[in-house]
Amino acid sequence: MNNAPNAQLLKGSLSVMILRLLEDRERMYGYEITQKVKELTAGEMAITEGALYPALHKLEADGLLTTETQVVDGRARKYYSLTKVGHTEAASRIADLRAFLENLNTVLNLKPSL
């Protein structure tokens, strides 16, 4: 997959993807999120670290995510999980994105008029 358009498309939906993954997995750390996306999309979609961490930090500042640090192999690992507000917001944003994708799909599948 061409990376440039992929990155552009990802930009608007990255926070929703993070919220969806955390809805499913309860808590995850940064590297784990990048790997999960890679695994789910069979390597077709790759989240760069330069995009992931600012998105995580912004969601945390917005109060949608909370963090917990756990010591793993002698170093601190920061786990992100959804707050109560985050759960509500995740459901709403996912529904919005689904509706948008359905509409986008309708437009993209438009048959040329003869």
Task: Report the site for another protein in 69-108 (rule: CB under 8 A).
Answer: 69-73, 75-78
Q: ∠ at Cα 27 (29, 23), nearest 5°? A: 120
Applying CB under 8 A, among 68, 92, 95, 105 the residue interacting with another protein is 68
Shorter beta-carbon distance to another protein: residue 58 or 98: 58
Distance CA 35, CA 38 (A): 5
Distance CA 38, CA 17 (A): 12
Residue 62 binding another protein, by CB under 8 A: yes
Q: Is 111 in the site for another protein (CB under 8 A)?
A: no
Segment interacting with another protein (CB under 8 A) among 1-9, 10-18, 50-58, 98-106 = 50-58
Burial track 58-73 (b if 16+ CB lie within 10 A, e otherwise): ebbeeebbbeeeeeee
Please report, as ranges, the residues that interact with another protein according to CB under 8 A. Answer: 29-31, 48-50, 53-54, 57-58, 60-63, 67-73, 75-78
